[in-house]
Amino acid sequence: MTTSVTVSLGDRSYPVLVGRGAVDRLAELVPAGTERVLVVTQPGVPLDAAGVLRRAGFDVATAEIGRGESAKTLATVQDLLERLAALGATRRDLVVGAGGGMVTDVAGLAASLWHRGIRVVHVATTLLAMVDAAVGGKTGVNLGHGKNLVGTFWQPSGVICDTAALDGLPAREVRCGHGEMAKYHFLTGDDLLALPLEDRIARCVAIKAEVVASDERESGRRAILNYGHTLAHALEIETSFELAHGEAVAVGIAYAARLARRLGRIDDGRVDQHLRVLHEYGLDPGVPASADPGRLVALMHGDKKALDGLTFVLDGPRGVEVVPDVDEAVAREVLAGMAVR
């Protein structure tokens, strides 16, 4: 059974199909008039999106990109643009990003730039991509100065979340998805752990879809989807990406809870609730011993949300919201007090 969640954006609304075997419906998401498809993927991706489209009669080419954050660069995007040029791709053509969040970010950015924007469909094959990266239209690549500093907002024409892809997912990739899943507990108060996995994924998608529909380009409310991400992005860079994204988000959520407590926004019970959810997902909330607090604070100053000093997404009496101009001394103090791995 496949669940369909709609991201409501007027005439740019699109479905997210969640369920085992959902990839078999990929051709349904190909926009009318599409002539050629470039499937962007990586070696070892478990779903054969290109094969599904070929069997449906489409003219399909594939492009494999490198793995890891070191490949999430403008150079990789340029390679894809050169491939689109070699194919003679036009605005009637389609890019499909089939893989994890890195693939959907890069494929989406390339699609947004080719001829100033062609259609893109995502086939998410990791838990993190299903509940976060593939939905909402954010694209991005890294620079030496920070994570996802170059990107666009470019909504897909549809998203596939085939849970069969999760069957052989490595334990670390599962943890990464759990890091993103954990944040949704604090955006709504829902007890997501009480739901079966497919229902939990669909609920996370629905939560994100509602937020994106209310603030597509992150001019305000959408920033709550970055809960835990301010420290997380700094940790990824500080550890040279030895700490994976979802693992870093888990640490960032624990830090955000403790920082909110230090600022008097929440009480000890709410902090304990954060730690309990992280524990039930099997996540480690400790800051790596090798991470230097001073460098982490400096990196957090460069976060995309930072308009007025240090800016965080924090829990509080009105729920999770953006809090600007947090005292640097307090941010350092809370960091120093966190347990190390």
207-233 pLDDT tens trace: 999 999 999 999 899 999 999 999 999
Query: pLDDT tens digits for 251-291?
Result: 999 999 999 999 999 999 999 999 999 999 999 999 998 88
Cβ atoms within 10 Å of 12's Cβ, excluding its own: 12
Domains and CATH numbers, the chain: 3-169 (3.40.50.1970), 181-190+216-336 (1.20.1090.10)
DSSP letter (8 states) at residue 340: B
Mean pLDDT, all residues of the chain: 95
The residues near 273 (Cβ < 8 Å, ≥ 6 apart) are: none
Structure tokens at 172: 């670390």
Q: Are 235 and 341 in contact (CB under 8 A)?
A: no
pLDDT tier at 337 (50, 70, 90 boundaries)?
confident
For the entire predicted model, the pTM comes to 0.93
Which single residue is written with the structure tokens 């988000």?
Answer: 249
Considering only CA atoms, which of 110, 109, 141, 103 is closest in space to residue 125?
A: 103
At 341 the pLDDT is 58
- DSSP class of residue 239 equals T
d(CA 268, CA 270): 5
Please measure the distance between the N-terminal and C-terminal CA atoms of the chain and give it in whole angstroms.
Answer: 41
pLDDT score at 307: 60
Instruction: Return the C-alpha torsion angle 235, 238, 241, 245, nearest 10.
Output: 10
